[in-house]
């Protein structure tokens, strides 16, 4: 359904994607990005204002949905960042090996279809000493909530264009060749527990640790 994908989904992500508890974590983790930065699934650009423009020399904002890029252009105008949009999926990062200092993914690894390929691609483009900053939604540790997540996943998958509620993102990040450096987790209000269990932190490619 192109109208849903091009208009309604970007609107929903823009309006629902940044309530105060999420905003607070974006404010904490996004300024950690430095140097050449690649943001995977930049969406409507909710992170742009949180980058420290004195530490980020270039931001590649990879986003395959043109409806999202339209909204993100508005956020771009609020910053001094040097932003280049790349309209490709995260499974096909068109950057050189070892060319990026920081990769950022917020609520994208929970959506992207080829997650392990994307994570391997992230490891490929990171320089030695580079890191992945992640903030993602997924599988609750509570079996009762997991049951709800399994039931509600098809609805979320449709409404939010491929969103999974049941991915164990930290395990997938490790499967893709990373070591978690530091991480916190918890339910983030105001959403129900079935769609608000999140992890946020940093990870580094295992071979470089």
Binding site for ligand SAM (CB under 6 A): 13, 17, 40-43, 46, 62-65, 68, 89-91, 106-108, 111-113, 160, 162
Pick 90 or 205: Cβ nearer ligand SAM:
90
Torsion from C-alpha of 42, 48, 53, 56, nearest 10 degrees: -10
Contacts 24+ apart (CB under 8 A), 7-12: 7/67, 9/65, 9/67, 9/159, 9/160, 9/161, 10/43, 10/44, 10/65, 10/67, 10/68, 10/70, 10/71, 12/159, 12/160
Only one residue has tokens 């990026």, namely 100
Q: How far is the CB of 143 from ligand SAM (least distance, A)?
A: 25
Q: How far is the CB of 205 from ligand SAM (least distance, A)?
A: 19
Phi, psi of 78, deg, nearest 5: -90, 0
State the DSSP H helix or E strand holding residue 24, giving kind and residue range, or none if neither: helix 20-29
Helix H, strand E, coil C: the string for 184-202 is: EEEECCCCCHHHCEEEEEE
Burial class (CB in 10 A: 0-12, 13-18, 19+), 2: exposed
Pick 106 or 140: Cβ nearer ligand SAM:
106
Pick 91 or 142: Cβ nearer ligand SAM:
91
Pick 107 or 178: Cβ nearer ligand SAM:
107
Q: How far is the CB of 16 from ligand SAM (least distance, A)?
A: 9
Q: How far is the CB of 91 from ligand SAM (least distance, A)?
A: 6
Pick 72 or 204: Cβ nearer ligand SAM:
72
- CB 55, CB 33: distance < 8 Å: yes
Pick 85 or 178: Cβ nearer ligand SAM:
85
Q: For ligand SAM, which residue has the nearest CB?
A: 43
Q: How far is the CB of 47 from ligand SAM (least distance, A)?
A: 6
What is d(CA 47, CA 26) in angstroms, rounded to the nearest whole number? 7
Q: How far is the CB of 63 from ligand SAM (least distance, A)?
A: 6
């Amino acid at each position: 359904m192109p109208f849903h994908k091009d208009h309604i989904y970007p609107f929903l992500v823009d309006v629902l994607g940044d309530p105060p508890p999420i905003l607070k974590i974006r404010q904490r983790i996004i300024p950690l990005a430095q140097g050449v930065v690649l943001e995977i699934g930049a969406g409507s650009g909710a992170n742009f204002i949180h980058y420290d423009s004195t530490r980020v020399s270039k931001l590649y904002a990879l986003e395959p949905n043109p409806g999202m890029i339209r909204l993100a252009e508005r956020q771009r105008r609020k910053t001094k960042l040097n932003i280049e949009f790349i309209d490709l999926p995260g499974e096909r990062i068109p950057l050189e090996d070892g060319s990026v200092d920081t990769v950022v993914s917020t609520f994208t690894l929970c959506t992207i279809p080829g997650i392990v390929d994307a994570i391997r691609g992230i490891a490929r483009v990171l320089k030695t000493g580079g890191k992945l900053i992640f903030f993602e939604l997924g599988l609750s540790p509570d079996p009762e909530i997991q049951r709800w997540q399994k039931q509600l996943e098809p609805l979320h998958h449709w409404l939010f264009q491929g969103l999974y509620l049941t991915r164990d993102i930290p395990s997938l990040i490790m499967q893709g060749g990373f070591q978690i450096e530091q991480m916190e987790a918890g339910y983030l209000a105001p959403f129900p527990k079935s769609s608000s269990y999140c992890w946020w932190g940093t990870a580094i490619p295992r071979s470089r640790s």
